[in-house]
Amino acid sequence: MRVRLFGAAFVAIVASCLGLVIPIVLKWMVDGPVTDRDLRGVWFGALILLLLGIAEALLFGLRRWLVARPLAGVEAAMRADLYRHLQRLPVSFHDRWPSGQLLSRGTTDLMLLRMFLAFPLTFLLVNGMTIVVGFVILLMQDWSLGLVLLAPAVPLVVLLSLFEARYSLVARRAQDQVGDLTTVVEEGVLGIRVVKGFGRHRSQSLAFHALAERLRATELVKARLLAGIWALIMTIPELAIGAALVLGTIQVADGDLSAGTLVAFLSTALALRWPVESIGFLVAMSQDSATATERFFEVMDVTEESDERPGTRRDELPDRRPDERPREQPPGREEGALPERDGMRFEGVTFRYPDADAATAPVLARVDLHVRPGETMALVGATGSGKTTLTALVPRMYDATEGRITLDGEDIAAMERARLRKLVSVAFEEPTLFSASVADNVLMGAADADDDALARALRVAQAGFVHDLPQGTATQVGEQGLSLSGGQRQRLALARAVVGRPRYLVLDDPLSALDVHTEALVEAALREVLQETTALVVAHRPSTVLLADRVALLSGGRIAAVGTHQELLRSSEEYAWLMSGARHDGEAGPGAATAADRAPAAVAAPDADDMADRSADDSAVEESVR
């Protein structure tokens, strides 16, 4: 690729220098054949000029051919690198950055960079060399006229430096505004159902129009700057050429200069017109591409997810709890496999979001929890108590601020993320599907799964509806899976989580969008899966809680209680409130008013026997479904 690029630059320089040979041929023709009235010499000179023109055109065509393939490859490689890098950036980065800004960097900015490599970069070099060679020829022809043309160089350099400083600021502002506009367009398309549902077409259009007008105003500022510098760059050299023409004519009249030399001098000056006049345009494109490059590397320079916890060296991370003796590798266990089963442990886990103020209370504070091997633990808590955050720490979507999480005694901070995420499968509360087939979406949970595993996962998730789709599991679900209902999307997300028979399963309220009958069917099938894995399940309804062997109550960022469903109903007032579904005006928790004091008699929290009866009813429903 470098050979082709350097070759293209060399070819372009040769082509431009051929254009400077034409004035020399003209001088020979005027002072020779034309003066001597030699018709054959005139035709010979015309033939030379024609051949020079054809050679120049062919060389410029060769230059375009040489740069086309490598530049397309550079753009494609940079775009691929950006996408790969985005996939490896931490979730906290994506929490902060609007998607439109990232899209504009992967499309508009890279297009500007390719255009710079294809045209300005080459011609800044070519035109610079042409100007230098041209002025050497001018000074050799007549040094006094050459100095007249060189006189504008100093003011032009000053003007260009001022233009560059102002234009770079405006170019950056314009490209940032393109990113903002892209974000609005993307949100409007993805949220079209909300826009239509609430009749917000006008407000969305006004918001888009305001951003578009702001971008238009910025582009007009760019155009005014470019028009001003272009006018000055064209006017000042023209004045210099005019002055040289007058001075040269006087010298020819006085006999101090031949007519052929004046013709050659003016032809050379005119040949240098485009290289000089294009400087403003090339500098503007260079600033656009420089800004695009800066924006591109703003993302590329962000540190990717590492396999070590931030601020901790991997060799400092223990493989076991301090009070544990080293475990021997059992015979037959493959190298790098997890040690003997110990389940999932949270040991003093504290978490604060990376952008949170250090003075604010952490989302999670000293969480200690043990999910035993093969056990299903339900995680229950009020809205905002940190349940989703806690589950996101297990696959290391975020890294714990303090403490550690272990899987069978091995700290997840010491694991390679790829290995960790093969062990842990996740179903998020908001199911995300991709513009791909049903099968591709489900098999994203296990790339090596076969058709039998796919069928089993769909059966567990009660996703038999896919067989009624036009092409079955090969049906394209469309962007975000919006062609499906919320419950259907959630069932496919659940199938994706269980298709690989994961060793650890983290489910964030996986049944919230299902009707009670489908929920009962899914729960009955899900019990079989949960018997094969160690699971942490965020639950909001008693029916989901009943899937678990034990329940952990998360309150105020801490584990307030752990026990079976029945035990917590009897011992925890807050848990009873959460399971009752009754409304209350304050935050439940230790020291809070009793349920009877908080609520009217009609909605007072049930006692443990009432909840036990409800649990029995739920179990009866499940048994009838079976």
In the chain, where are the structural domains located? 2-300, 344-563, 564-626
pLDDT tens for 400-455 read 889 999 998 889 988 888 888 888 988 887 778 888 888 888 888 887 888 888 89
Provide φ and ψ at 560, rounded to 5°. -85, -30
Helix (H) or strand (E) holding 407: strand 402-407
pLDDT exceeds cutoff 90 at 552: yes
pLDDT exceeds cutoff 60 at 151: yes
pTM given for the model: 0.64
pLDDT exceeds cutoff 60 at 599: no
Average pLDDT over the chain, rounded to an integer: 78
Q: How far is CA 251 from CA 147, 241, 248, 591, in A?
A: 15, 15, 5, 106
Rounded CA separation 29/264 (Å)? 10
The strand pairing partners of 426, in sequence order, are 506
- Cα-based angle 563, 566, 569 (whole degrees, multiple of 5): 90
Q: What is the 3-state secondary structure (H, E, C) of 191-203?
A: CHHHHHHCCCHHH
Answer yes or no: are the C-beta atoms of 409 and 319 closer than 8 Å.
Answer: yes
CATH fold of 344-563, please? Rossmann fold (3.40.50)
Confidence of residue 322 (pLDDT cuts 50, 70, 90): very low
Q: For residues 615 and 308, which has the higher predicted lDDT (pLDDT)?
A: 308
Cβ neighbours for 567, distance < 8 A, ≥ 6 positions apart? none
CATH fold of 2-300, please? ABC transporter transmembrane region fold (1.20.1560)
pLDDT tens for 347-397 read 999 998 887 777 788 889 899 999 999 899 999 988 888 888 899 899 888
Confidence of residue 604 (pLDDT cuts 50, 70, 90): very low
pLDDT exceeds cutoff 50 at 560: yes
Select from 541, 478, 469 the least CA-distant residue to 509: 541
Rounded CA separation 542/524 (Å)? 14
pLDDT tens for 15-65 read 777 777 777 777 777 777 777 777 887 888 788 888 888 887 887 777 777
Give the count of beta carbons closer than 10 Å to the beta carbon of residue 598. Answer: 19
Give the count of beta carbons closer than 10 Å to the beta carbon of residue 234. Answer: 14
Answer yes or no: are the C-beta atoms of 339 and 327 closer than 8 Å.
Answer: yes
pLDDT exceeds cutoff 70 at 88: yes
pLDDT tens for 214-230 read 999 999 998 898 888 88
Residues 531, 534, 539, 541: what is their CA dihedral angle, to the nearest 10 degrees? 20
Q: What is the pLDDT of residue 274?
A: 78
Q: What is the pLDDT of residue 2?
A: 64
pLDDT tens for 474-528 read 888 877 777 787 778 888 888 888 888 888 999 887 777 677 777 777 777 778 7
pLDDT exceeds cutoff 70 at 139: yes
